[in-house]
């Protein structure tokens, strides 16, 4: 069979990469697997990559300009906002292929290689144990994008890539839009099944249509439903246009939101907030706030499955109160109120008001100090020494980006303090989450906790 002039054959040398099998074909691009050529292979080169080839030959000037702009956005976003939840851009170049005029001059993006897309996983069935983790990974990627001042603008299962190690990465930033204030402008493009109600009637100005982070939040709500409902959309219809009509009816208040009963209550509530019918209502639910809820929900489910039914468990906590189950778990060498350290003083604070006025050291009000602030804050990750509201401890340094912790009042922080324990304690230091103190002394950042 004759090779198409619009496709690169296996073994073709594109830049410094040897083309492998075809991965996929889109409207503007074709994606191939590739490996480094013999002269460039080495430890600094990944053994396998994906080549996204974006031809411009033979296109009308406006079409070619659109592709160039799309490639530029991907390169710019990859250069400025690298993150483990975003597919990595390794390099870009212009393809020299005089033997293939239709591809000569094409823009080529060299990217991390993934194992499959979320769409492929949906088609084969998402394992129940992986569903929450996948959604959390997508949300982490969105949170980073939004904090960096970008909107994905085309979030869908095809653009969520899964690594062989199970990692989740957002991809395809050809429509990504940089924010100027609360919104940006983009061409009126996107995948119909993932457009929020307001996009169907958005006015088209000289700069395009308005794009805001709430657009991505809507798409996330659709994906949550699909993950739990075997790929089904919450909006009925045989075609994308029919489903779009259902979205508009819902957005105008003429139809309720109907979700599949397969979606569990926690995820149903989360998806419903993502699918609030107006931008204003949806804007209250940022990717960061959704992440907090997912983390808190995960911790609550974990406690319910591992703690005795008679144990004290508060649904609003992210395993913050780690109460001792036996007297032996409480160390008599715990820091006391009369141990006033000269520097880095932290007074322990318990947001549970019922514990603030108790005299003595009630086991139910004890607070755990973590062994490793980057691992889940569970009983297995807590030192024997306990602290109580009002105790004073000495902090050596701080870790700004540990595991997020939420207290009883909903206060969230990723900051942790490394605190000294009394002489003879084992270990000699532990970690106190910043939500457990009101003090913020000037402290240096801690080294890698693993090295500490």
351/409 Cα distance (integer angstroms)? 7
Two tokens, residue 135 = 């959604």
Please confirm, yes or no, whether 154 is among the known catalytic residues: yes
Pick out the residues of the known binding site for ATP.
52
d(CA 437, CA 348): 5
CA 157 to chain centre: 14
Q: In whole angstroms, what is the distance from residue 438 CA to residue 346 CA?
A: 8
DSSP string, 315-352: TTSSS-----SSGGGS-TT---TT---SSSEEEB----
Given 123, 154, 372, 407, the catalytic residue: 154
186 dihedral zone (left: phi>0; alpha: psi -120 to 50; beta): beta
Scanning 113-230, the segments in alpha helix (DSSP H) are 118-124, 128-147, 197-200, 213-228
Cα distance from N-terminal residue to C-terminal residue, the chain: 62
Alpha-carbon distance of 242 to 245, in angstroms, equals 5
Is the CB of residue 170 less than 8 Å from the CB of residue 156? Answer: no
Q: Which residue has the tokens 């080294």?
A: 447
* Structure tokens that stand for 101 in this block: 């005029």
Per-residue b/e over 146-180, b at no fewer than 16 CB within 10 Å?
beeebbbbbbbbbbbbbeeeeebbbbbbbbbbbbe
Q: What is the CA radius of gyration of the chain?
A: 26
Query: Which residues participate in catalysis according to the annotation?
Result: 154
């Amino acid at each position: 069979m004759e090779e198409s002039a619009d496709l690169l054959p296996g073994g073709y040398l594109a830049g410094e990469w040897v083309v492998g099998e075809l991965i996929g074909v889109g409207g503007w691009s074709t994606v191939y697997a590739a490996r480094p050529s013999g002269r460039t292979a080495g430890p600094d080169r990944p053994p396998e990559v994906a080549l996204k080839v974006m031809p411009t030959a033979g296109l009308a000037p406006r079409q070619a300009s659109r592709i160039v702009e799309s490639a530029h956005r991907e390169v710019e976003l990859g250069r400025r906002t690298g993150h483990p939840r975003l597919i990595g851009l390794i390099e870009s170049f212009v393809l020299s292929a005089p033997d293939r005029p239709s591809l000569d001059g094409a823009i080529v993006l060299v990217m991390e290689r993934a194992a499959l897309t979320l769409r492929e996983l949906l088609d084969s069935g998402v394992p129940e144990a992986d569903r929450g983790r996948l959604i959390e990974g997508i949300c982490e990627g969105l949170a980073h994008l939004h904090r960096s001042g970008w909107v994905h603008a085309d979030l869908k299962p095809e653009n969520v890539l899964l690594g062989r190690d199970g990692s989740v990465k957002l991809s395809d930033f050809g429509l990504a839009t940089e924010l100027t204030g609360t919104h940006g402008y983009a061409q009126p493009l996107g995948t119909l099944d993932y457009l929020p109600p307001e996009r169907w009637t958005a006015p088209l100005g000289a700069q395009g249509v308005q794009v805001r982070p709430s657009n991505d939040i809507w798409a996330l709500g659709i994906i949550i439903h699909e993950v739990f409902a075997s790929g089904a959309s919450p909006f009925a219809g045989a075609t994308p246009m029919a489903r779009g009509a259902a979205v508009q009816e819902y957005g105008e208040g003429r139809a309720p939101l109907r979700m599949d009963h397969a979606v569990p209550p926690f995820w149903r509530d989360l998806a419903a907030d993502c699918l609030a019918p107006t931008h204003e209502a949806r804007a209250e639910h940022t990717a960061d706030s959704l992440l907090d809820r997912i983390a808190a929900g995960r911790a609550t489910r974990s406690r319910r499955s591992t703690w005795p039914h008679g144990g004290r468990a508060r649904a609003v906590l992210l395993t913050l109160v780690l109460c001792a189950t036996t007297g032996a778990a409480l160390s008599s060498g715990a820091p006391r109120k009369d141990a006033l350290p000269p520097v880095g003083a932290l007074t322990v604070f318990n947001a549970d008001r019922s514990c603030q006025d108790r005299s003595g050291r009630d086991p139910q009000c004890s607070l755990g100090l973590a062994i490793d602030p980057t691992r889940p804050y569970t009983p297995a990750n807590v030192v024997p020494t306990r602290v109580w509201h009002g105790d004073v401890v000495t902090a050596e340094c701080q870790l700004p980006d540990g595991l997020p912790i939420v207290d009883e009042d909903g206060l969230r922080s990723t900051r942790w303090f490394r605190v000294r324990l009394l002489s003879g304690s084992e270990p000699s230091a532990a970690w106190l989450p910043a939500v457990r103190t009101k003090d913020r002394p000037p402290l240096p950042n801690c080294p890698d906790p693993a090295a500490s």
